[in-house]
Structures are given as structure tokens and as C-alpha cells.
Structure 1
């Protein structure tokens, strides 16, 4: 049997005034998550709002504790990144 994990991260992008600027902030975050954690990442909400972004990170494994640990590390990495974004909220679900 397999387990699916989903982490949703809400970001605030203060001072951003365009979708181009938003993409410039999100693109490196998404690329780094994919590279370092081998997960699927997508912007899932607030796609037309300049100063807010919500990204979802997903992975599949047979071990729920592994998934929870991986997603926790991914959220922590985003929070530590020196970017023009602030983690406002996050949620991790194991399905």
C-alpha cells in the first residue's frame, strides 16, 4: 500500500507588484524543492494575486513517517530561503 503526503505553504510577497515579479520569486523556490527533495510542486491558489502565493508539495511513499519528515524539511527549507517571501502558514496532510 502507498501513502500520499501533501504540504501546502502560504507565502506573502510584500512589495511585489506584478505577476512577472511573482514568478521570479516562485520559480527558484519550486526548482530547489524539486531538485533537493524529488517532489512535485505547483502553485495552487491565488494565481492572479501579486502579493500572495500558495504552493503545494506532494510525494508518495510506503512510509508515512518518511513522508511527514520529508515535507517538514521542505517547509523548513522554504522558510529559511533568503527570498522576498514570507511563510505565513503551512499545513501537512498524510492521505
Structure 2
């Protein structure tokens, strides 16, 4: 079994922390449902213009796990034009 983690830094257009929470909650819930990953906001909780999200998955092979997280990144870019993906790190844990 392989465990892979992905950190994605986002730039947001939110004007308030309440707007940011709405965007982040939506992204996290939809990614959990669509990709069956563990997901959480891990940094910049108090900043309205940026967020760092972490995703984790377990698979039989590293290729499968890495591809799943790459698809998640692609989906995020396509599905959420209101957020800008600034940085992505995928690594085996």
C-alpha cells in the first residue's frame, strides 16, 4: 500500500473570511465525494486571500495514487475558475 499527500496553495478572490470559508468548504466537500480523499485546510486560516489545502489518499501502487491527486488538481483548475492554483506538491509519505 502507498500513501500519497498533496498540498495545494490557492489564491482566492474572497472579500471576507466568511466568503473564503464558503469556497474552501465547497472545494473540500466536493473533492472528498468525487475522489474519495482525506482533505483539510492546513495553513492561512486567518487570511482571506490565500489558503493551503492538503489531500491524502491510499492505493495499491504509487502510480495510481499520484494520478488520482493529479486528476484532483486538474479538476480543481477546471471546476473552480474563482480560485487560482499557485503551487502544488505531491509526495509519497
| Short-chain TM bin | over 0.9
What CA deviation, in whole Å up to 9, does each residue of 1:7-59 have, x standing for no partner?
A: 11100013x22211101111111111111111000000111111000000101
Q: TM-score, normalised by structure 2?
A: 0.93
Tell me which of 79, 82, 93 is aligned to 2:80: 82
Distance in 2 (CA, whole Å) between partners of 1:19 and 1:83 is 19
Residue segments in structure 2 that go unaligned for 5+ positions in a row:
none
Report the equivalent of 2:28.
30
Q: Following the alignment from structure 1 to structure 2, what is the Cα–Cα distance between the partners of residues 91 and 76?
A: 13
Aligned partner of 1:68 in structure 2 is 66
**Mean alpha-carbon deviation: is it higher for 35-44 or for 74-83?**
74-83
What is the RMSD computed on CA atoms of the aligned residues?
Answer: 1.1
Residue 55 and residue 26 in structure 1: after superposition, are their counterparts in 2 closer, same or farther (change >3 A)? same
Q: Which residue of 2 aligns with 1:4?
A: 3
How many residue pairs get matched? Answer: 93
TM-score (norm: length of structure 1):
0.91
The separation in 1 between residues aligned to 2:48 and 2:66, in whole angstroms, is: 30
Counterparts of 2:44 and 2:72 in 1: how far apart (Å)? 21
Q: Where do 4+ consecutive residues of structure 1 move more than 6 Å?
A: none
